[in-house]
Amino acid sequence: MFSGASNFAESVDRAFIFIFAISFIFTIGITVAMIYIVIHFSRKRNKNPQQFSGNVPLEIIWTVVPLILVLFMFYYGWVAFAPMRKVPQNSMQVKVIGRMWSWSFDYGNGKISPDLVVPLDRNVKLNLFSEDVNHGLFIPAFRVKEDVIPGYNNYLWFQPIAKGKYDIYCTEYCGLAHSAMVAKAIVVDSLEFKTWLADLKVVSNDHPGMAVLKANACITCHSLDGTKVIGPSFKDMFGAKRTVLTDQGEKEVEVNADYIKRAIVDPNGEIVKGYNKGLMQSYKDVLKAEDIDKIVDYFKKSSEQK
Ligand SMILES: [Cu+2]
């Protein structure tokens, strides 16, 4: 029914289904009882109201039954949760860094990946660090979720039990592009993992400008495929016409090298019409001039090839 991909899936699902089933039964039961009472004890049928006081058997039932039910809930929850905080000695360690608004996974051998790649059937411990604000690392398919908090070394562990590609989300609202703070957890067999881990070259043959865009998380706000995210898409940008708002009013500009440099160094000087001011920060002190040249070159090339 549910496809869990880690050792925790079964116990977490059991707790979930148990609590869900009880809630479901009670929702139906309470609604039916309410409808029955409204009809059966209506004024039409009971001209003279009666007084009741106390009913010991009833009080015992509605105290003891819920008590037993919540104790079972606690039991199933505890059985699922306790092992999550006991990390096996032989776990492979990965350092996870969360920042506004991207994840990276550092394997300690020089390999830093934007996605979490893990070997099947191996225990994996994730050490969670934040560079700025609170984030939450959530891998639904593994049924694990922990807060990623600056100054507090949180962790989680799991053992992947099914190969595949699963979603990773951030579950603490961490600012504007919070919902774009996603990644993938990719479970591969151990041989494939070893090859992947040992390969320290940049695997893709990205344009150097693309590497700068990725490293600075520009593509959290700017898509490459034409969709509007928080900022305008980078697709076919070079040479296009833009209406921008400046302090002097609206004007028409062509996207060229100068415009792109201005947009990166002083993003609020000219605002593309239809977008908001103050969202993009200046990258004046972040990017070197040569990085900006690489970006400009990338935009030029990617807009030419159709
Ligand atoms: Cu976040």
For residue range 243-297, list pLDDT tens digits in order: 999 988 899 999 999 999 999 999 999 999 999 888 888 888 888 899 999 999 9
Task: Look up the CATH number of the domain holding residue 162.
Answer: 2.60.40.420
- Taking the centre of ligand 1 as the mean of its atom positions, its distance from the CA of residue 277, in whole angstroms, is 22
Domain co-membership, 284 together with 215: yes
Looking at the structure, do residues 81 and 112 belong to the same domain, yes or no? no
CA 81 / ligand 1 centre spacing (Å): 23
Residue 50: CATH number of its domain: 1.10.287.90
Q: What is the pLDDT of residues 60-94, one digit of tens each?
A: 999 999 999 999 999 999 999 999 999 999 999 99
Residue 160 lies in a domain: yes
Q: Could you give the C-alpha distances from 260 to 65, 80, 263, 266, in angstroms and in order?
A: 68, 52, 5, 10
Cα of 286 to ligand 1 centre, how many Å? 21
**CATH code at 293?**
1.10.760.10
**Would 284 be classed as within a structural domain?**
yes
Determine the distance separating the centroid of ligand 1 and the alpha carbon of 180, expressed in angstroms. Answer: 9
116: CA distance to ligand 1 center in Å?
16
Angle ∠(238,243,249) on CA atoms, nearest 5: 140
| 203 in a structural domain | no
Q: Which of 109, 288, 107 is nearest to 215 (CA)?
A: 288
Cα of 107 from ligand 1 centre, angstroms: 21
In this structure, are 96 and 194 located in the same domain? yes
Q: Is residue 4 part of a domain?
A: no
pLDDT (average), residues 192-197 = 93
Note the pLDDT tens digit of each residue in 6-59: 999 999 999 999 999 999 999 999 999 999 999 999 988 888 888 888 899 999
Residues 107 and 186 in one domain: yes
Number of separate domains in the chain: 3
Task: Identify the domain containing residue 254 by its residue range.
Answer: 208-304
Is the pTM higher than 0.85? The answer reads no
Both 166 and 243 in one domain: the answer is no
226 vs 117, higher pLDDT: 117
User: Count of CB atoms within 10 A of residue 91's CB?
Assistant: 16
Distance in Å, CA 124 to ligand 1 centroid: 22
Amino acid at 10: E
CA of 145 from ligand 1 middle (Å) equals: 13
Distance from Cα 131 to the centre of ligand 1, integer Å: 10
Among 172, 198, 224, where does a domain finish? 198
| 298, part of any domain | yes
What is the CA(137)–ligand 1 centre distance, in A? Answer: 8
Cα 273 to averaged position of ligand 1 atoms, centre (Å): 28
Contacts of 298 (CB under 8 A, 6+ apart): 207, 208, 209, 210, 212, 213
